[in-house]
Every structure is written in structure tokens, then in C-alpha cells.
Structure 1
Amino acid sequence: MTEIAQVTLGGIVFDGQYPVHGWMLDDLTDWFSLPDSKAESVARPQAHGSFDPGTDWRAGSVHTLTAGYAGASTAEVERALRTLNGLAGTNTLVRCEVALPSGVTHRMVSIRRIDAPPVYNLPFVTGIKIDLLAPDPCAYGTEVSAVTGLPTAGTGVQFPFAFPADFGTPGDPGRVVFVNEGTAPTPLRFRVSGGMSDGFSLKCIESSDVLTLSRPLPVGSSVTLDSSDGTAMLDGVSPVSGFLTDDDWWQVGPGETCTIQFEALGDVTGSPQLQVTGAPAWF
């Protein structure tokens, strides 16, 4: 039995407890390993050591998942293998989620190769090797989301003043706070719904970085801004990055807090909202 309780690859669950029926997990390599640095080491020709290599940008993370399958018949095993191979038939990365005693982390991976031994007319197969490449070297924890509306003023104290004191209804600052508990910078994803006649702005209070979208956003539409790749999509289909008049994309550093201020540009209709989604990241 492995210390990894479970691995989920593209919706297929590999159980580390060796189930009587279904997919079983034998091993997963290098989930906690730090990928190679891409900075070259250049020796000092007339002195000890090497020159400073500069920033250690990391290569992609490479893993091998070893698994097996126990079924009721040889035909079931063959169908399971075809389903597994089908995960590679996509032009998008596949989510690989690992459950450990310290919690659940995930990477988006490319399935590079699946090496399956012969079934030999048996109702089980073991020693299946699945080679994975995660272009992003970081592992991410569970995503969290928070929602806010636009800033609103409080009602304040009403006069004539009376006891017991009534200080009115407090306002809403229109802010969302995200904390990165990991050891690596992590991106954020923003989803803003309309309507606002001239667009909106998002500001990181701690760094003063600003994202401003200067175009109408009607009621019923939304824009998603993703700081992992610097994209802005209207209703999930139309790119609107060209309307960003401020594009200070930012990520949240390890152990840091990010407070996002939401502001409307122009006239407001309906109830615009900002949803912020992110996850802690670890090298």
C-alpha cells in the first residue's frame, strides 16, 4: 500500500488501497521533486566555482504513474485500457489530482505515453506505466472562490440622535481578499458580470497593479480574466484583451495576501459582481 491514498487522472480514480475491483495505484514518481533549473552553469575559467546562473526558471514536471486494473473478465480489462488510452485523445491538458496525508494537490498534465503489458486472457493486468508531463512545475491545492459586489456606502448616524444609539447599516468596500499559503507564486482568475456602461477596474491594493477593461459590459454578460496566461474572454468565447487599457497582470507571491478592489466605470445597471478564484501553489 502506497502513502498516496488516491490519484485521479482525467476522471479515472486509481485507488492506493488495492481494491478488489477497478483501478489500483502502485506508484507515482516525483510528485514532491523539484524540476531541473533551465539556467546553465558556466564555470569560471580562472577562479573557483561558476558564474551566478541568474534566475532559476524551472523545467516542466515529469511523473510516471504505475497502475493496474482488476475486473470480472478479460473483456472488461481491455475496455478499461481503451478508456484509459482515450484520455490522451484531447488537445487540452488533463487534470491529475493526488490525495496525500497533507491534503489534495493537482497538476494539469499531458499524457506522453501509456505502456500496457499484455492481458494474457486474465481478468486483471498490472504494471501499466503512464508517463505524464506537467508544463507548469507547481502543484496546486484546492481552489477557493470569493464574491463581492461594487462598493456601497453605509447609512451612517441618523439625526435627531436617540438612545439606544443606531449607527446605521455598514457599507460594503467592494473588496475580495486572497491568501496564498503555498511556497510558489500563484495566478488568480477574475470573473466580472455586468452591467457597466464603460467597463471596470480591478486593483491589487498591496502592489498597486491594475487591470482596466474599457468597454461596455451589459447585464447578462461576463468577462473572465486569467492571470496565468494574460487572457480576457467575453462570455467564454470572445477575446477582449484589446480593450484592456491597464494590463498590470499580477500573481500572489508565496505566503502573501492580495486584496482586490472592484470599481465600475460609467453608469451601473443591474448588480455587477466580481468572483475571484485561486489556489495555493507549491514547488
Structure 2
Amino acid sequence: MDAEAEYNNRARVPDSAAIIARWMRDAATFRTTWASKRLDVRYGDTEPERLDLFLPEAGGPCPLALFIHGGYWQALDRTSVSHFARGLLLRGVAVAVPSYGLCPAVPLATIVEQMRRAAAVLCMTTRQRMLAVGHSAGGQLSALLQATDWPGFAQGLPTGIVPAALPISGVFELEPLLPTSIARALNLTPEAAHALSPRWLPPPGGELHTVVGGAESPEFLRQTRDFAAAWGGTAEEIPLANHFTVLDPLTDPDHPLSARAADMARRLASL
């Protein structure tokens, strides 16, 4: 296997730079035009530890989802992906979009802790459990949130803060990344890569639905399929979608993926 060709998505998708530039423009427009929002909410002490909370315009009680951006734990932030909250918002689901520290400035284990802290703060603030949705690196993070022992993470937290996850084009086994250029900033030992791989954790229960683009590399297709099977979840391919366009359905409230995510969020019980 040529791991670099399998996992280097920016090189694999010729117009990836143009797609990400479009994300930036669309996200900036969305952040400006969506009326009901709370921007730059701190969930921790360091500068990256902020989130944006977008609320359905109808107001009132609503389910909650957490959308975690990708970038191989070393690129992008919440302001790159704000517009992907649109589909869920128009289906009546609030969406929190966090930033986190990036490798190599912080280790990957710290990013995991930051996302756990963001979920914990959201839970205690809203008194709600949440669906974790994540793209690429965010898919790994969303799965780890579902697998978290929350009372063990912080005293006073209830169990099952994140009882459902919807990872999109996630990386669930980190060991195959180690020989690639992607791994340079991650600085992972084989042991750390294994420990941070959701694929090798005991299935936590709850609802899991994995998504991958039909035009993605064989390794991303395999990882999605194998992870869903290991955790007893379901897997879906978006026809013709690559690693970046696979997110486009989330902007459309009428797309089946937005409908499925909203249904998953609604099934979660409040505290």
C-alpha cells in the first residue's frame, strides 16, 4: 500500500485548495448572516479553546449537536466550517462548532482532552446530551467522545454526555499514517497512535453512523467499513463525493444525511 497516496487527501483531490477557499468564504458569510448565535464562547483557558453556538431561529428547547472540523489535527479551525451547521439548524437542532489547538504546537492527546472539555462545558451549560459529528480528524475525535468515561474525566459529570456519533470520512486507525508526511507534525509513537485509535477501543454502546465519500481512497472506505463493524454501527457512502465534497450535504436541510443527523440528535435524552 502507498500510504501517502491513500491518506494525503489534499494531494489526492486536485481542487482541494479551491474547495477549502470556498469553505472559508461560505463560513464567513454564514457567521455574519445567521441571526441566532453565540460566538467565541470560551470552554477552556488557552486561546484556541473557543466555540461558536448556532441556534435554530425558531427558538425554544432543541436538540444539540457538536460539529468538529478536520485538517489532520494540524490545520483549520471552527471559522472554516461554520456553514456546515445549516442543514441541522434548519431542522431544529442547535450546533456548537469548536476550535482546538493544532499539532505540532500541542500534542494530539491534548486535542482529545480539549474536545472532551468542550463537550463537558456544553453539557453542563445546556443540561443536554449531544450528538458528535466530525469530519476527517474530527471523525476520530467524535468517536473518542462517544467512548469517553465522563465521570472519570471530571468529577460530577453524568454518564453518556455523547451517546451518539456521526463521523464523516474519519480516521479510526492512526497507525497507517505513521509513514506518511501527515504524521510529521503529529509526533506519535506506534504505541500512542494505537491508543488514540477508536478502532481498537471497546465499543461504547449508543448509536454510531459512519459516512464516507464514494470517491475516497480505498483506505478511507476500508477504515469506515471496519470501524462501523467493530462498534456495531452502520456505514454509508455518499456517491461520487470526495474527502471534501462529502460535507456538502450538511448545508442542505432536505438531504438525507441532514435528516439522519437531526433524527439522531432528537433521540438523545436531556439530563
TM superposition score category, shorter chain reference = under 0.3
With normalisation by structure 2, the TM-score equals: 0.23
Q: Normalized per residue, which structure has more strand?
A: 1
Q: Which has the higher contact order (CA 8 A, sep 6+)?
A: 2
With normalisation by structure 1, the TM-score equals: 0.22
Q: Normalized per residue, which structure has more helix?
A: 2
Larger Rg: 1
